[in-house]
Amino acid sequence: MSHFGSELTQSVKEILVKGEKLYMFFDQQSSLVIPEHIQYVIFSLIWLNDETIQSLGIETVRTKLLTAYQKEENRTFLKDLFAVDTFNGLLDKIHQNKERIYALWQTT
């Protein structure tokens, strides 16, 4: 008898892994207020299968971005990422600015 997982294609496995990571993203403390810009950046990085956020962990990145968000210049940068009309536009902008986003959590 074969195992269920061995019958899945690589594409389906990747979708399941992404779903698990998104589930972890949404599993957060209800008492913790997180600015929507930070939420969307993290969600977008997960959607883009970003390896850096995967290796650091969602909670670590969330905490570091919250700290970085205290500076006005970082808030402005994150808000400017959302000058788009579509989700795909947001994904493109996040992808184009990944290095600068990484720098936000590396300096905290």
Going by C-beta distance under 8 Å and a sequence separation of 6 or more, which residues neighbour residue 108?
64, 67, 68
Show the tokens assigned to 54.
Answer: 């995967």
Tens-place pLDDT, residues 79-89: 999 999 999 99
pLDDT at residue number 108: 57
pLDDT single digits (tens) 58-83: 889 999 999 999 999 999 999 999 99
pLDDT band, residue 1 (cuts 50/70/90):
very low
98-104's contacts with Cβ under 8 Å and 24+ in sequence apart are 98/45, 98/50, 98/52, 101/41, 101/45, 102/52, 104/64, 104/65, 104/68, 104/74, 104/77, 104/78
Residue 49, C-beta contacts closer than 8 angstroms, at least 6 positions apart? 14, 18
Highest mean pLDDT, choosing among 2-6, 20-24, 43-47: 43-47
Q: Look up the pTM and report it.
A: 0.81
